Amino acid sequence: MTIPSTIMNYVEKKDIDCTIVPHPYSQTSLESAHAANISGECLAKGVLLTDPEDFVLAVLPASHELDLSRAADYLGTRLDLAPEKDLGTAFEDCISGAVPALGSAYGIRTIVDKALTTLPDVYFEAGDHRDLIHVSGNDFRKLMADADCARISEHK
């Protein structure tokens, strides 16, 4: 599949150097990390949430579990996991279930786990189940410049 234009346009607009890392089909972010032969610690997965008014995207390492109450406390709102049917609404040009870590590209408020902000390299889903996008840690921080940042997850 071609990388969704929303993702590529956002990366280009932010003047980010990236490489596409193809891998065999996978359904989960940890499977994607394994298939691409990278650590789940450096693969940023997106988890779509809802607050009382809109979507929120939590971005955390694939090897971690979201602490929903910690994220809600930090943002000062009630948060729930978004139903799967909402993924297509939020990320309309992505394959179902392939949630990119770029909430801002889709106009979605984003909160990123601090564990991702100190890494030298970060990977994230490219909007399908067969490609990852690889960026430097500095470029990832540029991509997340509009995001809230807090400890919102724990290692599985």
Sorted by sequence, the CB contacts under 8 Å of residue 132 that are 6+ apart come out as 20, 21, 23, 32, 36, 38, 43, 123, 124, 125, 126
CA distance 33 to 77: 31
pLDDT at 99: 94
pLDDT at 156: 82
Confidence check: pLDDT of 1 > 70: no
pLDDT at 149: 98
pLDDT at 23: 95
Provide the residue range defining the domain that includes 97: 5-155
- Give the residue-averaged pLDDT of 145-156: 95
CA distance 133 to 38: 12
pLDDT at 19: 97
- Which amino acid makes up residue 128? D
pLDDT at 128: 93
Which has the closest alpha carbon to 147: 94, 120, 107, 91?
A: 107
113 band by pLDDT with thresholds 50, 70 and 90: very high
Confidence check: pLDDT of 72 > 90: yes
User: Which ranges of the chain would DSSP assign to H, the alpha helix?
Assistant: 5-13, 29-35, 68-75, 85-90, 137-143
Residue with tokens 């809109």: 54
Here the CATH number for the domain that contains residue 10 is: 3.90.960.10
CA distance 16 to 74: 29
2 band by pLDDT with thresholds 50, 70 and 90: confident
- Give the residue-averaged pLDDT of 113-131: 96
Residue with tokens 């995207």: 57
CB atoms within 10 A of CB 80: 12
Confidence check: pLDDT of 79 > 70: yes
| Total domains, the chain | 1
Confidence check: pLDDT of 26 > 60: yes
Q: Are 113 and 77 in contact (CB under 8 A)?
A: no
